[in-house]
Structure 1
């Protein structure tokens, strides 16, 4: 997509995205992501370790992870609006001395030295917004140290088909294009996005030089309601209301984590979340 289309989407999105996790569905999704990161990045890493948040947006993940890890962070994002919000969030979290901000395209991260990053995280699918995705995968491979790990998320292909059939009752031609192009358009204001199966995401990583380790579906059992995509975060879906019950939330979380990395189940995921290593 061009820069204008990108900015038109992310400028309003940056205003309310930090509040989404107050709702049950997104709270569950965030909890699953956090657990997977903890399972794949040791909590005892030192202050010299560098974690790159590729497409880090408003910095909310860095703010949360800074409470878990003593490391340094890089927030890399193309949206100036998102980065301005990130700078405020990082300042409020009092971790400015640990965070570097870079505005730029993931397809060309020339401001980051080769083999200089210990871990890469990329959450809620920045790679889905990049049309020449192979360049972004290649750049992430370049900046990661040997033995380093990438944990990257993309929109789910099979979930997109499921949703377009069951939630949108979309036209046959739209389904045909989705199947052939592996791209989906969710609405008038939303750009066309790459979608990934477990196999597609792992293949993309492998082509860039990574060794895929494990892929999770996030979430696999819980389906969001249309209210969960309210840009003002005011409306609340039936599932988000149900997840406010602690016992229900905990049991759903347990089931998601029990099955979400099983190869026969992961492709149910709304998002694919893959872990790979640079050997």
Structure 2
């Protein structure tokens, strides 16, 4: 079944008001820490002072807001198809007085409007953004046009191999079989989305004329349970492990030690890739 723009808009319409509750889930706190640490070290800290970013499919602006907070000279765009998600981003912008630094635009990533070509230092898309679009490669090619020379494109995508494991572990064999063709889902309420492998993303970046600087998968040794796909809720076993602050930090340290092992990329829940123009 083909996922349409309407399916995507409708899916997020019912999640927008509660979407940021994901930050209260112990597993995603761990995943976010890993993602922020590697994104900051390998990309953001290498950018010129006063850099400009483009958050593709940025939704409620969770990551845009974090970048703007941590780098007070930065400016950026949050661009998304869902007006309901962007409404939450605008609330963040207004309540934090960021109107002069934060542009929020509704639109289709296949044909980006309102942003000048070669005007952005870093473009990023996190979590399921590339999964929901019709043509992931076309979207990446469109985003690349926004980058200045030497600019960075960063993607954090769903991992096909983990999606297969996840569905099989829940006994959803037909969902797993469907994934063998490259599209599927984590929950029965979501539309089918594209899933990716490390090699596939490497090929996409090559076709976009980007030099791949980093390719990794994480978290690699602890996976989300079913409740972690529901925005609200914590799987009991994961909670017992991760809600202990000391254990949380120890697992974070173990995951961090192996982040640079490219051979572990297929094992990660998500795939992280950085390319430079």
TM-score range normalised by the length of the shorter chain:
over 0.9
The yes-or-no answer on 1:147 pairing with 2:150 is yes
Aligned to 1:194: 194
**Partners of 1:254 and 1:166 in 2: how far apart?**
27
Higher mean C-alpha deviation, range 254-263 or range 9-18: 254-263
Task: Indicate conservation of the 8 Å contact 1:217/1:261, yes or no.
Answer: no
1:87 to 82, 87, 90: 90
2:251 paired with 1:247: no
Contact in 2 for aligned 1:53/1:73 (Cα 8 Å): yes
Mapped partners of 2:45, 2:186: distance in 1: 37
Q: How does 1:11-50 map to 2 (within 5 A)?
A: 11-43=13-45, 45=47, 48-50=50-52
Partners of 2:63 and 2:96 in 1: how far apart? 12
Q: 2:135 aligns with which of 132, 136, 148?
A: 132
Superposed, 1:189-268 pairs within 5 Å as 189-231=189-231, 233-268=232-267
SS in 1 for 2:173: coil
Offset of residue 119 of structure 1:
0.4
Task: Give the SS at the match of 1:87.
Answer: helix
Aligned to 2:11: 9
Aligned counterpart in structure 1 of residue 60 of structure 2, from 55, 58, 69: 58
Maintained 8 Å contact 1:125/1:152: no
Q: Measured at CA, do residues 93 and 241 of structure 1 come closer, stay the same or move farther in structure 2, by a change above 3 Å?
A: farther
Partners of 1:42 and 1:135 in 2: CA distance:
25
Aligned to 2:77: 74
Partner-residue secondary structure (3-state), 1:267: helix
Deviates more, 1:141-150 or 1:108-117: 108-117
Give how far 1:185 is off. Answer: 2.5
Q: How far did 1:42 drift? A: 3.9
- Taking the aligned partners of 1:252 and 1:183, their CA distance within structure 2 comes to 31
* Structure 1 portions without partners, runs of 5+: none
Cα displacement string for residues 13-39 of structure 1 (whole angstroms, at most 9, x for unaligned residues): 211111111121010011111101111
Q: Mean Cα displacement is larger for which, 35-44 or 156-165?
A: 35-44
Pairing partner for 2:118 from 115, 120, 136: 115
CA separation in 2, counterparts of 1:61 and 1:205? 22
| Alpha-carbon distance in structure 1 between the residues aligned to 2:265 and 2:5 | 33
CA RMSD of aligned residues (A): 1.7
The Cα shift of 1:153 comes to: 1.4
Q: Identify the residue that residue 270 of structure 1 maps to in structure 2.
A: 269
Q: What is the CA distance between 1:234 and its match in structure 2? A: 4.1
Gaps of 5+ in 2: none
Distance (Å, rounded) in 2 between the aligned partners of 1:265 and 1:46: 31
**What is the TM-score with the length of structure 2 in the denominator?**
0.93
Per the TM alignment, residue 260 of structure 1 is displaced from its structure 2 partner at its CA by: 2.7
Q: Deviations over 1:58-103 (max 9, x none)?
A: 0111222222112001001010001111000122222221100111
Cα gap change, 1:86/1:155 in structure 2, threshold over 3 Å: closer, same or farther? same
Distance 1:111 1:19 in 2: 30
Cα distance between partner residues in 2 of 1:148 and 1:44: 10
Aligned length: 274
